[in-house]
Structure 1
Amino acid sequence: MTGGVAVGGRWPYLAPAGVEVTRPDRLTVGVLVTACNVAEHLPQALASIAAQTRAPEQVVVCDDASDDDVAAAVAPFADRVELVRRAVRGGEGAAKNTALAALVTDLVVVLDGDDTMSPHRLEAVAQVAEVRPDLAIVTTAWEEFGPAADGSWSLADHFPVQDQRTQILRWNFLPAPALRRRELLAAGGFAEDLRYGPDWECYARMFLRGARAGLVPSPLYGYRRWNGQQTADRDRVLRGRVEVVRRIAAQDLLTDADRRTLRGTLAGARYDRWVARLPQADRREAAALLTGAGTSVRRRVLAGAGLIHPPLAAVLAQRVAPGRRVGAR
């Protein structure tokens, strides 16, 4: 195929150009679930796994030293779910690595403990991975639910088929994907000292090693929006995004073009955090944006306004805000 829409089994998908295997090997599938203070939602997540049209060979839940009763939430599914516990809370990366260590399947499918999967999700990602063994990562579109849901944006309309290496250095377009375990481990797994965005940083490392990704454009992942989730803390998200970009920028496999891309991504992340805190943002941050590499002309103008009069900058930033883009989850 040329880059674009193809069919893997019964599932259309988007991917870079590649050749489909006519007699694919069947892959084993495991689901990696992380749980930290989401016990009230975890039974719904596990029930969605139990309802899959293609049953996984393994399901591993990592309890990241939760304050609530994860064991009780898992108990009704104990015959098909392995529960591993961390005595000390390590964060998202550590929890994912702990669950990953217990998985032996060809594919590792990520599911956050407060989210759900539609019944066909494992079938879809596995079939695409089987017919396209060159794809190290396969994901699906999602739909939001819950009290803070906003369904105004679709990954299917924005998923990059071309130049994925550059795009992953700009934003995380891979929500809760299926990952080939061998490639994931070869890239080093998830960073345990990043408190936000270890998934994005990990996928960037995989792309720097040559990974490519495909998307089933059907919304087969249920992303719960609620006030208790970690991504509800906007400043934490924006601060974490800056740190993730800095971490990616420290990788040895970057080309000069990659570094130019990351300078722009870092400038954008710093700008977004600055704008979110206007008019209380520190003028020193405005000065750094004004003089920093990668800042666009428009943002330099706004930073200049912020240096002189932060309330005016806040008004101007709202009027010229860019369109919505999904960042790392």
Structure 2
Amino acid sequence: WLLFLDADDVLAERALERFLSVTHNTVPDVILAGYSRFTSSINAPQSVQLPVSSLIPKALFSAVAPQCAWLHRRDSFLANGGFPTDIRYGEDWEFGAQLALSGPEVATVPEVLAYYRRHPGGQSQITDTNPQKYREFATVAARICARVAETPEVCQRYAEGVVRMAFVHADN
């Protein structure tokens, strides 16, 4: 199992035990848990999000959740290519889309197990002051668009939205 945790993020007490509690009857490719975004204290959340049970369509358009709320089965993570190493921004979004398009078995833990810290000047908050972020998001959007085109059932349903999203990122 793999769980990616930034040094400033926090896991709930006994989080790994609760993640793995859903593996008694099945061994999913990924387990998603709820998460809370916070700035200074996990007791003062900015938002709380429970996990989605299906990665499509959300993973095609944005990162589903911070990686601290995902527990990946190692062999599935590696079989889906892991995080791209040629970009600094959007690598979690690209991996989530790749995983979603592979048709993974997803399990969920409907409680907050991860606390994702947001810094006002942090990378996830940087907007138009960093053109490199937009160039890399455009790269990710184009790659996702190409993968959707190779997946007929997903292409038929979501291609228009994915292409529109790719153009939006390309324009920035």
TM-score by length of structure 2 reads 0.77
Q: Which stretch has the larger CA shift, 252-261 or 173-182?
A: 252-261
- Residue matched to 1:267: 164
- Residue matched to 2:89: 196
Unpaired stretches in structure 2, ≥5 consecutive residues: none
Q: Which stretch has the larger CA shift, 262-271 or 109-118?
A: 262-271
The amino acid that maps onto 2:21 is: Q
**Structure 1 position 127, deviation (Å):** 1.7
- Residue matched to 1:111: 5
How big is each residue's C-alpha offset from its partner over 1:48-88, in whole Å with a ceiling of 9 and x where there is no partner?
A: xxxxxxxxxxxxxxxxxxxxxxxxxxxxxxxxxxxxxxxxx
Matched, 1:243 2:136: no
**Structure 1 position 192, deviation (Å):** 0.8
2:30 pairs with one of 128, 131, 137: 137
Give the share of equivalent positions with the same residue, in percent: 27
Distance change (3 Å), C-alpha of 1:254 and 1:185: same
How big is each residue's C-alpha offset from its partner over 1:24-71, in whole Å with a ceiling of 9 and x where there is no partner?
A: xxxxxxxxxxxxxxxxxxxxxxxxxxxxxxxxxxxxxxxxxxxxxxxx
Distance change (3 Å), C-alpha of 1:232 and 1:147: farther
How big is each residue's C-alpha offset from its partner over 1:258-294, in whole Å with a ceiling of 9 and x where there is no partner?
A: 36524413424654x69xxxxxxxxxx59xxxxxxxx
Unpaired stretches in structure 1, ≥5 consecutive residues: 1-106, 275-284, 287-329
Q: What secondary structure does 2:5 align onto?
A: strand
The amino acid that maps onto 2:71 is: A
**Structure 1 position 230, deviation (Å):** 1.1
**Structure 1 position 189, deviation (Å):** 1.4
- Residue matched to 1:122: 16
RMSD between aligned residues = 3.1
Q: Distance in 2 between matches of 1:247 and 1:211?
A: 19
The amino acid that maps onto 1:172 is: A
Matched, 1:166 2:76: no
TM-score by length of structure 1 reads 0.43
Question: How many residues in Structure 1 have an aligned counterpart in Structure 2?
Answer: 165
- Residue matched to 1:224: 117
1:214 pairs with one of 97, 100, 107: 107
Instruction: Check conservation: 2:36, 2:47, Cα contact below 8 A.
Output: no
